[in-house]
Structure 1
């Protein structure tokens, strides 16, 4: 397949994307998705051009979601950023935030590395030092788990089954919140499904793309695409439990890397974990031996789930649990957008973007907010003070596993 450019002339200049952009609403430093995406792309086709305010695009995808012409505006922004950084060096801060998988591997290679890193990241002295390189001293930094999900998984003995699925854990679940992966394995095993976690998978590349490291992201995409194709050819479905990973593997690879063969075919075998579970439920294949869960939750829909157009499968399934009450927040973006809110100059913007959601949670009085995205959960806990959980953890609780 030959490389091609997304056609900016598909944009009809209606400004719907501007009206739905949470960053445009939060700061005048960003000139808006229409101007920086399709409008400037018309000039970039013929000559190099870079608009500094492009740095304020969070890649939240609300512009893509709202565009009536289907223009992937955010992808145009990310491609423009990548073109700029091919000739201009990134900062140490951006290198660190874009290479989370490498950082986590280094932590795991050191005895007691996770504990040492967590202490190092969460004390006033180190936070002050991090601020000096551009990482906010107020942002909610994730902690590392003592044992990665993949390491835990290799030690597990599952009940064998003819029905199998492949799980792509992603960096956040693997290194920061492996309990989410453990809960998913437990739920799938309870439903008679064996789980395969190939060690060949690497970071989906989402943080690399937002940091401008497009060539590295493409290298990761080629590795993951080859592994996905291998399992898809055997008839296996490939699941994700992080909405940003799912979006990257399923949709963004096709937009960013059209030269990679087979991406559209791969997408037919890629499923969000709850999309897969909801499909089984619709077919009468999902166990419903739920114990009552007498709790009230709020559910936040990640932007990267909404743009996939698969509905709200987690919310639909959780509402089938007896005793459980759950309401949709319906209060916009949380503001974190991966590691956008970790950047010192973006922190206040990210908090302004998420302000409506934080207030909605506080006004509701709920103690726990359910969300499919790991960094959204970090931001929600930070901004609202509520506890957070992945929906698969609530499902496992209902199964009493």
Structure 2
């Protein structure tokens, strides 16, 4: 297959622009049109190959091409395209950090959205295995696992070799993968008395009072991180409360290609969040993927929804929020404890928010603290890092990060994504164990 005609091979030097996800267009769901676009984009990727180190999707594609008779995309069986799609976990890094052919370049390459489209068509036409449906229903799994008595049983089973073998056979969760340890009470119950009282002081884009979106994972498995988030913000005189009511942000279903369920979650969350936004609340969450869902993915899915846009403009990464306050002289620097050497893994879904290294900026304000930044993917990506079919690959992707952490001989290892942090520290034998940056900042404040 020849390169697209009428355009130059040179990449665009302009800032990337993102087109909305055209999922309400009948052509989006047309299998033949999808196959044609996959072939076009795969051919462009074949001629470039600069994304080969990002994830396993690109090595899979290039190996298929190189093993074909023609050693071009036309030699790859269309049925093998799915092998590439299955390896993409929609981190978005190829779009925002590597690909020179994204819009406004006339070749209009959006690899993540194309992979999402392929996942969505596959889901609509063939559904998904029961195991994938269950694992992506993170809120329901967390609620069941966090029931008193049940929580002890679940946590004990997750440490039992026989039970783990059964879990691998039934739900496809690798026996070696680290799975959550569920906690009670949940974050929302622990912080339910937060009333948001206090005087709000605007600074930059921040309005000075924040509602916390607990997230499925932190609510049920890492409630202490949400407590740390609340404590750090309150210490900085920022009124804090929990979001009135929340459902899953939708990212797990988004990655599965189940866009209709994403719509259902959006219809539950957005009216509540928009109401609170109109009342003057900003929002944050301790998991970058959940923040990204409200900042980017839902606005691209629903570009004409004014309430989605309103929530988008009021959602912040926690350290993005604190950095705005710091710039205005409103961040307290009354630190009681240094952090020493800190190895910081930057999660993909934080990098693509285009906010810069705000976590490092804030942690470096702690005296006698040295940050080593590691901009490599953890390989976890929700279920990718626990499924038996991809666990070995996820460990391979995490290895460069693990090596860098070991080389730094850091006192602390941290990642803004608790799941990524735990995945990496698991590969390191928990030496050092993962700590969320908010936990480190709370330690530095001595609160």
Please state which band the TM-score falls in when normalised by the shorter chain. 0.7 to 0.9
1:30–1:53 CA contact under 8 A, matched in 2: no
> Take 2:399 and 2:60, find their aligned partners in 1: how far apart are those partners?
13
Q: Is structure 2 residue 434 aligned with structure 1 residue 388? A: yes
Aligned partner of 1:238 in structure 2 is 283
Query: 5+ unaligned residues in a row in structure 2: which ranges?
Result: 1-19, 29-33, 66-72, 74-78, 104-108, 201-207
Q: CA deviation at 1:54?
A: 1.4
- Give 1:50 deviation, angstroms: 6.8
Confirm or deny that 1:99 pairs with 2:137. Answer: yes
- In 2, distance between residues paired with 1:72 and 1:238? 29
1:30 shift after superposition: 8.1
In the alignment, is residue 60 of structure 1 matched against residue 91 of structure 2?
A: yes
The residue matched to 2:270 in structure 1 has which SS?
helix
Q: Confirm or deny: 8 A CA contact 1:135 1:344 kept in the other structure.
A: yes
C-alpha contact (below 8 Å) 2:134/2:141 kept by paired residues: yes
Query: Is the Cα–Cα contact under 8 Å of residues 185 and 195 in structure 1 kept in the other structure?
Result: yes
| Equivalent residue number for residue 227 of structure 2 | 182
Shift of 1:156: 5.0
For the aligned residues, what is the CA RMSD?
A: 2.9
What residue number does 2:445 align with? 399
Q: Are the equivalent residues in 1 in contact too, given 2:58–2:84 (CA < 8 A)?
A: no
Q: Does 1:126 align with 2:126?
A: no
Structure 2 CA distance for partners of 1:354 and 1:27, relative to 1, 3 Å: farther
Q: CA deviation at 1:367?
A: 4.3
Which one of the candidate residues 107, 113, 120 is aligned to 1:75? 113
In structure 1, runs of 5+ residues without a counterpart are: 33-39, 41-47
Of the three residues 373, 398, 405, the one matched with 1:328 is 373
Higher relative contact order (CA 8 A, sep 6+): 1
Report the structure number with the largest CA radius of gyration. Answer: 2
Q: What secondary structure does 1:22 align onto? A: coil
Structure 2 Cα separation of the partners of residues 156 and 232 of structure 1? 17
Equivalences, count: 386
**Farther off after superposition, 190-199 or 279-288:** 190-199
Q: Which among 181, 186, 192 is matched to residue 143 of structure 1?
A: 181
Q: Residues 308-330 of structure 1, C-alpha deviation per residue, up to 9 Å, x if partnerless? A: 11001111010010122221124
Provide closer, same or farther for how the CA distance between residues 50 and 380 of structure 1 changes in structure 2, counting only shifts above 3 A: closer
Structure 1, residues 101-120: CA drift from partner, whole Å, max 9, x if none? 10111223x32222221112
Corresponding residue of 1:368: 412
1:279 Cα offset (Å): 0.4
1:157 deviation in Å? Answer: 6.8
Offset of residue 342 of structure 1: 0.8
Choose 81-90 or 339-348, whichever is displaced more: 81-90
Contact in 2 for aligned 1:17/1:62 (Cα 8 Å):
no
CA drift at 1:203: 0.7
Shift of 1:306: 0.8
Structure 1-normalised TM-score?
Answer: 0.88
Q: Does 2:367 align with 1:311?
A: no
Seen in structure 2, the aligned counterparts of structure 1 residues 244 and 113 have a Cα distance that, compared at 3 Å, is same
**Closer, same or farther in 2 for the Cα pair 1:361/1:25, shift >3 Å?**
farther
**TM, length-normalised to structure 2:** 0.79
